[in-house]
């Protein structure tokens, strides 16, 4: 693994001009894990206008946060975030000169490491390396405080746990579960972006597992089981599987503000799901037309996941007690004053139904079930 040349150059130039500068965040974490970073971020004590002056062909991206983009590298001034009065975004930011203050505003220990791009020396105030080694995700500071500051961190925790196969620290998980009710306060686009990263990541099933476990997101166990079979799937397939059990996928996709083009594709895949068998089995020209659609492979994949899921459900049924011993007889019912006739049969069947789904197990429970209260 080599450090990106532009990132090296950016750090070197900032330092040559008397500023502190270092690689930071996701790229350091990924580098230490031996993974190719998606993007290279630089943190510096230089103010945004000083950065702009040093890199002529740069442009300001996060004007509010003072982030400058130069040859694909994001150069951000050390900062502290102000209050998050709405649990969504900091109301203000304050530029600071100390690297440690910049580290403290970050969410998880593994996301707050700094690295010298030349010597590869790591500055790690909160033992992110220890957490990576022991495979746990933990926040910087109290997880309750950090999640109340920004509820999106619930989703981010699920995402990072799934992405890097980490356990979620016990206190962090408690905080997630306690604050999950507030998930609705987060800007929907931010949630969607984290969901997309979970869904298209290496282990979507685990990401959804964490979100379901803390009650931040409900999805059917079947959806989760199907997602668990995917790894780094294309976005359209991932979202189609995610929406497969939704009663009104279009409304949900629009609520999450997915772009129209994706909504159209996902709805087409979901619609084709029912047609695939019929069209493919009768070998019609319609099947060929369907196969020309760019999303046809995704539709086939959804069909496969669905079929496997259905088969598994069927096999699960075979493992259940399908012939439970009757808890009550017709005589028992007649002795309790129910007249002989079709009512007896109806009640016996009602009890058997309740036994099959495991709702009643004893004679007493069976009697309670049929005794009007």
Q: Which residues bind ligand ATP (CB under 6 A)?
A: 25-26, 38, 106-107, 111-112, 150, 152-153, 156
Smaller CB separation from Mg ion, 26 or 249:
26
* Number of residues in contact with Mg ion under rule CB under 5 A: 1
C-alpha 249/C-alpha 56 separation (Å) is 47
Tell me which of ligand ATP, Mg ion, none is bound by residue 153, counting a contact when its beta carbon lies within the kind-specific cut-off of 5 to 8 angstroms: ligand ATP
Cβ 100 to ligand ATP shortest distance, Å? 13
SS3 for 290-353, per residue? HHCCCCHHHHHHHHHHHHHHHHHHHHHHHHCCCCCCCCCCHHHHHHCCCCCCHHHHHHHHHHHH
Smaller CB separation from ligand ATP, 90 or 249:
90
Smaller CB separation from ligand ATP, 8 or 153:
153
Cβ 371 to ligand ATP shortest distance, Å? 55
Instruction: List 146's β-bridge partners, or say none.
Output: none
- Burial per residue of 195-223, b for 16 or more beta-carbon CB atoms within 10 angstroms, e otherwise: bbbbbbbebbbbbbbbbbebebbebeebb
Cβ 38 to ligand ATP shortest distance, Å? 5
C-alpha 283/C-alpha 289 separation (Å) is 11
Tell me which of ligand ATP, Mg ion, none is bound by residue 90, counting a contact when its beta carbon lies within the kind-specific cut-off of 5 to 8 angstroms: none
Asked if residue 74 lies in contact with residue 6, where contact means CB atoms within 8 angstroms, the answer is no
Stretch that binds Mg ion, among 20-28, 258-266, 306-314, 338-346 (CB under 5 A): 20-28
C-alpha 122/C-alpha 130 separation (Å) is 13
Stretch that binds Mg ion, among 21-29, 82-90, 151-159, 350-358 (CB under 5 A): 21-29
| Residues in 22-61 at the binding interface with Mg ion, rule: CB under 5 A | 26
Tell me which of ligand ATP, Mg ion, none is bound by residue 117, counting a contact when its beta carbon lies within the kind-specific cut-off of 5 to 8 angstroms: none
Show the tokens assigned to 83: 């209050």
Where do the H-state alpha helices sit in 17-113?
A: 26-32, 48-54, 99-104
Cβ 161 to ligand ATP shortest distance, Å? 13
Q: Which helix (H) or strand (E) holds 75?
A: strand 73-77
In the shown chain, the binding pattern of residues 89 to 118 toward Mg ion, with x for contact by CB under 5 A and - for none, equals ------------------------------
Tell me which of ligand ATP, Mg ion, none is bound by residue 106, counting a contact when its beta carbon lies within the kind-specific cut-off of 5 to 8 angstroms: ligand ATP
DSSP structure class, residue 151: T
Stretch that binds Mg ion, among 18-26, 44-52, 152-160, 279-287 (CB under 5 A): 18-26
C-alpha 116/C-alpha 118 separation (Å) is 6
- How crowded is the C-beta side of 30, counted as CA atoms within 13 Å? 17
Cβ 205 to Mg ion shortest distance, Å? 23
Tell me which of Mg ion, ligand ATP, none is bound by residue 204, counting a contact when its beta carbon lies within the kind-specific cut-off of 5 to 8 angstroms: none
Where do the H-state alpha helices sit in the chain?
A: 5-16, 26-32, 48-54, 99-104, 128-134, 143-149, 152-163, 170-179, 188-199, 204-213, 221-227, 235-243, 249-255, 260-281, 285-291, 296-319, 330-335, 342-356, 363-370
Smaller CB separation from Mg ion, 7 or 305:
7
Smaller CB separation from ligand ATP, 107 or 131:
107
Instruction: List 4's β-bridge partners, or say none.
Output: none
Smaller CB separation from Mg ion, 66 or 249:
66
C-alpha 228/C-alpha 208 separation (Å) is 9
Tell me which of Mg ion, ligand ATP, none is bound by residue 152, counting a contact when its beta carbon lies within the kind-specific cut-off of 5 to 8 angstroms: ligand ATP
Show the tokens assigned to 4: 């990106």
Tell me the residue number closest to ligand ATP, measured at CB.
26
Tell me which of ligand ATP, Mg ion, none is bound by residue 179, counting a contact when its beta carbon lies within the kind-specific cut-off of 5 to 8 angstroms: none
Show the tokens assigned to 340: 């002989």
Cβ 235 to Mg ion shortest distance, Å? 17
Stretch that binds Mg ion, among 19-27, 84-92, 344-352, 365-373 (CB under 5 A): 19-27
Q: Name the residues that contact Mg ion, by CB under 5 A.
A: 26
């Amino acid at each position: 693994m080599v450090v990106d040349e532009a990132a090296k150059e950016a750090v070197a130039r900032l330092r040559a001009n008397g500023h502190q500068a270092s690689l930071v965040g996701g790229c350091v974490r990924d580098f230490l894990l031996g993974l190719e970073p998606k993007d290279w971020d630089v943190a510096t004590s230089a103010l945004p206008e000083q950065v702009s002056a040093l890199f002529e062909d740069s442009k300001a991206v996060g004007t509010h946060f003072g982030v400058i983009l130069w040859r694909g590298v994001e150069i951000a001034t050390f900062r502290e975030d102000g209050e998050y009065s709405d649990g969504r975004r900091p109301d203000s930011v304050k530029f600071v000169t100390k690297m440690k203050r910049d580290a403290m505003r970050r969410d998880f220990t593994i996301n707050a490491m700094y690295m010298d791009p030349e010597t590869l020396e790591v500055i790690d105030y909160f033992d992110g390396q220890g957490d990576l080694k022991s495979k746990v995700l933990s926040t910087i500071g109290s997880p309750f405080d950090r999640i109340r500051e920004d509820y999106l961190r619930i989703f981010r925790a699920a995402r990072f746990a799934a992405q890097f196969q980490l356990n979620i620290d016990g206190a962090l998980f408690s905080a997630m579960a306690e604050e999950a009710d507030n998930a609705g306060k987060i800007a929907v686009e931010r949630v969607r972006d984290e969901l997309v990263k979970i869904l298209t990541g290496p282990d979507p099933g685990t990401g959804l597992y964490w979100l379901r476990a803390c009650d931040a997101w409900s999805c059917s166990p079947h959806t989760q089981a199907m997602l668990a079979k995917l790894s780094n799937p294309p976005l359209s397939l991932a979202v189609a599987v995610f929406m497969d059990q939704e009663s009104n996928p279009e409304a949900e996709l629009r609520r999450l503000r997915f772009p129209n083009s994706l909504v159209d594709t996902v709805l087409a895949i979901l619609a084709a799901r029912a047609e695939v068998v019929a069209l493919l089995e009768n070998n019609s020209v319609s099947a060929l037309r369907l196969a020309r659609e760019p999303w046809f492979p995704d539709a086939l994949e959804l069909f496969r996941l669905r079929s496997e899921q259905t088969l598994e459900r069927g096999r699960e049924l075979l493992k259940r007690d399908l012939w439970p011993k009757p808890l009550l007889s017709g005589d028992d019912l007649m002795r309790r004053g129910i007249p002989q006739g079709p009512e007896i049969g109806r009640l016996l069947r009602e009890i058997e139904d309740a036994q099959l789904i495991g709702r009643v197990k004893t004679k007493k429970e069976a009697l309670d079930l049929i005794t009007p209260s």
